[in-house]
Amino acid sequence: MSLTIGQELPPRQFKITRDSLVRYAGASGDFNPIHYRDEIAQSVGLPGVLAHGMLTMGLAVQTVVDFVGDSGKILDYQVRFTKPVLVDAKTGAVVSVSAKVIEIDEDSKTARIDLTAVCQELTVLGKAQVRVAI
């Protein structure tokens, strides 16, 4: 795989619906009701149901996985959760992810790729860095 510094990977858009949240709750075991019940989300001061931060983290990295072609090449992955992703009951939410090559280390055969994840013009992940084997 040839990468160059500054290279942008093909961006991805992920449509998250309430169904996606139920599916992720079941798959991950995170059944916090703020991810599927509006009245509970509102009772703790949130505008409504939010996506699991770990769902956003999990789908954003797929932008890199698609490009490198093997999940096993992801060596180190970190994010900061900066803004919640609100998921409307009818229209859902769209998370747009772009990825850019920041560093290439020929000695360790790794590269650092940074992600930008945006939902409704807000950056939802900060310091989103992926180290991949090249």
Chain residues in the site for another protein (CB under 8 A) = 14, 20, 23-24, 26-30, 44, 53-55, 57-59, 61-62, 65-66, 69-72, 74-81, 127
Shortest Cβ 81–another protein spacing (Å):
5
Shortest Cβ 65–another protein spacing (Å):
5
| Tokens coding 66 | 């698609």
Q: What's the rounded Cα separation, in Å, for the pair 88 and 125?
A: 19
Shortest Cβ 9–another protein spacing (Å):
15
- Residue 53's SS3 state is helix
Tracing tokens 């950056």 back to the chain, one arrives at: 123
Residue whose CB is less far from another protein, 43 or 120: 43
Q: What's the rounded Cα separation, in Å, for the pair 88 and 48?
A: 8
